[in-house]
Amino acid sequence: MDNPHDIEQIAAIKEELQTNGPASAAAKIQDYLDKQDNVQLNIAITGESGSGKSTFVNAFRGIPNRDKERAAPSGVKETTTDPTPYPHPNYPKVTLWDLPGIGTIRFPADEYLKKVGFDRYDFFIIISADRFRENDVKLAKEIQKMGKKFYFVRSKIDNNIRDEKKTRGSEFNDEEILKEIREDCIQGLEGHVESPRVFLVSSFELHLYDFRLLEKTFAEELPANKRKVLLLALPNVSLEIIRKKKGALQANIKYLAAGSALGALAPVPGLSVAVDMAMMVKTTSKYQATFGLDSESLQSLAQTVGMPVEELRAVMTSPLAAQEISTEVIIKVLSSSLIFISLMAVEEGSRWLPLIGFPAAMAASAACTYKSLSMFLDMLAEDAQKVFEKALGLNTSV
């Protein structure tokens, strides 16, 4: 069922079609899609030096620390000397800003927000490798005063779990350890920050612990347009995120199909099909990147989990798997579908029928686009689930 925003948008497109004609309606659809692609999201990652900010930035973007060209430099010392932007590799409008550690000589706590450019960020993630300290509390209070969201992230949880397992031996219980760490962090913040929430995260194992809870909190508190672009840029750390991504991408197919239908009115044989092919290549490439199935993303995932990339490619079964999307690839996949061939023939043939030709062409074009993109999305979402299961497994109950 369409949400209220979709119903409103569809009504506006229909009105544009009736008032100003197909070209204007098609332009309105394209403008709507372009606005979605141009939504900017700036996320500030801050905390004291050595807290794991840079490693978190890299993990969020799906880039291993060892990638010297694209990764934020990380280490035990403070490696960030100025606010540094790191755009998402597949969604460059989503930028994570690695901020200098608060309380350093160049960035004292009382001047921190001004010096790092507070206004540019949509929300802040305050990271600590142990207890949150006085500077973290000061920062949170100032952010709260200025009406923006912030989230406390306790990093390097995997190290704590490993150390406690060695110490406690047979009495070790991971859920009890996590509860103790969370309560200890919250107690240190209570009385200073209103209703503090702390998320326990391992940047090397985002599929474990609280990262999924952090993602759900973002979804509840961000505006709808920014919520969607954040979802699409998230790493695939759970099957639920893959399903949510599929749903978000599926919601746009009706607009692409409507644009295809309006394009079918062009009185030039073959033009509509050519335009649709270019759109399908672009859209399917976007699906592939969103699910992390392009070559670069697969290579990064393989490095992160310590697995040969060939093993990840081997579990992908769709004809779109592990290759660059091109017109030839799209045609090859669609040529096996009798429905597609029939609809394409109907579109071109019906264009010249008197009176009913254009409506028939529009219906065929819309149906062809909708069915084709839905099929591609299903294929790639299924491959994404298989790659996730191979790379990370399903033991994500912690």
Q: What is the pLDDT of residues 116-155, one digit of tens each?
A: 888 999 999 999 988 888 888 888 888 888 888 999 999 9
- The token pair that represents 157 in the structure block: 């949880």
Query: Is 60 exceeded by the pLDDT of residue 391?
Result: yes
What is the structure's pLDDT at 385? 94
β-pairing verdict for 41-47 and 94-98: parallel
Q: Are 56 and 155 in contact (CB under 8 A)?
A: yes
What is the structure's pLDDT at 289? 94
For the domain spanning 41-234, the CATH number is: 3.40.50.300
Q: Are 127 and 155 in contact (CB under 8 A)?
A: yes
Q: Which of 241-255, 335-349, 379-393 bottoms out in mean pLDDT, i.e. has the lowest?
A: 335-349
Residues 109 and 326: their CA atoms lie apart, in Å, by 52
Mean pLDDT of the chain: 83
- The token pair that represents 136 in the structure block: 């973290």
Residues 229 and 234: their CA atoms lie apart, in Å, by 9
The confidence band for 45, taking pLDDT boundaries of 50, 70 and 90, is very high
In this structure, how many other beta carbons lie within 10 angstroms of the beta carbon of residue 109? 16
- Give the SS3 label for residue 43: strand
Residues 232 and 218: their CA atoms lie apart, in Å, by 13
The residues that bridge with 199 in the sheet, in sequence order, are 153
Q: Are 293 and 321 in contact (CB under 8 A)?
A: yes
Query: Is 50 exceeded by the pLDDT of residue 70?
Result: yes
The CB-side HSE value for 378 (13 A sphere, CA atoms) comes to 6
Backbone φ, ψ for residue 283 (5° rounding): -70, -45
What is the structure's pLDDT at 131? 83
DSSP 238: S
Query: Is 80 exceeded by the pLDDT of residue 10?
Result: no
Average pLDDT score over residue span 369-394: 89
What is the structure's pLDDT at 279? 87
Residues 283-339 pLDDT 10s: 999 999 999 999 999 999 998 888 899 999 999 999 898 789 999 998 888 887 765
In terms of Cβ atoms closer than 10 Å to its own Cβ (0-12, 13-18, 19+), residue 372 is buried
Residues 83 and 99: their CA atoms lie apart, in Å, by 4
pTM of the model: 0.84
The residues that bridge with 94 in the sheet, in sequence order, are 41
What is the structure's pLDDT at 52? 87
What is the structure's pLDDT at 355? 47
- Give the SS3 label for residue 94: strand
Which residues of the chain form beta strands (DSSP E)?
A: 41-47, 84-87, 94-98, 123-128, 149-154, 198-200
Backbone φ, ψ for residue 369 (5° rounding): -65, -45
Average pLDDT score over residue span 46-51: 82
The confidence band for 395, taking pLDDT boundaries of 50, 70 and 90, is very low
Query: Is 90 exceeded by the pLDDT of residue 367?
Result: no
DSSP letters for 285-320: HHHHHHTT-SHHHHHHHHHHHT--HHHHHHT--STT
Q: Are 150 and 183 in contact (CB under 8 A)?
A: no
Q: Are 220 and 213 in contact (CB under 8 A)?
A: no
The confidence band for 84, taking pLDDT boundaries of 50, 70 and 90, is very high
Query: Is 70 exceeded by the pLDDT of residue 80?
Result: no
Amino acid identity of residue 339, one-letter, is: I
The residues that bridge with 45 in the sheet, in sequence order, are 98, 125
Contacts of 10 (CB under 8 A, 6+ apart): 2, 254
Q: Measured in whole angstroms, how far is the alpha carbon of residue 179 from the centre of its chain?
A: 29
Most confident of 78-82, 225-229, 378-382: 378-382
Query: Is 80 exceeded by the pLDDT of residue 275?
Result: no
Residues 371 and 374: their CA atoms lie apart, in Å, by 5
- The token pair that represents 368 in the structure block: 């062809």
